[in-house]
Amino acid sequence: MNIDLWSIGWHMLSVFFLALLFKHFLFKPVRAFMDNNAKKVMEDRQQLEVVKQEITIQQNQVKAQKEELRAHSAETLTRSQKQAEELAKDVIATAEKEADRIRRRATEEAEQLRIKAMEDSEERIGSLSVELAGRILSREIKKEDHERMIDAFIKEVAEK
């Protein structure tokens, strides 16, 4: 076996230059690419953390607004119920006053009608009594005729 030192030297020198070329043209660009990607990943993670914090802040704000709206709606509902109750009381009071007024007016009208009916009845009875007395006085009547006339008069008054 023959070992050629020159050949070994050239091979070693070529491996050395290849290593330098790989380092310069392959390793450094790949390393730079990897560093840039790592840097981008770190920036993305930082942005993600910032976004997570913003989301958490917004969620807390939404929860606070939700609670505020619930409290406001409960307050509004309570206020509306009180207003409705007050309005109902006012309507009932007004209706009761109106009913009392109508009842009083109806009572007054009924009383006036009763008084008028009584006056009309008294007038009519008076005129019929005068008429009966005129009939009685206009002729001389017997007791039976007198009773018949009174009965006829009572029937006539009852019919009217």
pLDDT tens profile 53-90: 999 999 999 999 999 999 999 999 999 999 999 999 99
Return the pLDDT at 45: 96
From residue 53, give the alpha-carbon distance in Å to each of 38, 40, 49, 57, 58.
22, 20, 6, 6, 9
Mean pLDDT score across all residues of the chain: 88
Q: What is the dihedral of CA 73, 78, 80, 84, to 10 degrees?
A: 160
Return the pLDDT at 1: 60
What is the band of 17 on the pLDDT scale with cuts at 50, 70, 90?
very high
Give CA–CA dist 29/23, Å, rounded. Answer: 9
Element (H, E) at 158: helix 143-159
C-beta of residue 128 within 8 angstroms of C-beta of residue 157? yes
User: Please, where are the H alpha helices in 22-140?
Assistant: 28-138
What is the band of 152 on the pLDDT scale with cuts at 50, 70, 90?
confident
Terminal Cα distance for the chain, rounded: 166
3-state secondary structure of 99: helix
pTM of the predicted protein model = 0.42
Give CA–CA dist 126/157, Å, rounded. Answer: 11
Domain ranges for the chain: 29-159
Assigned token pair, 20: 């330098």
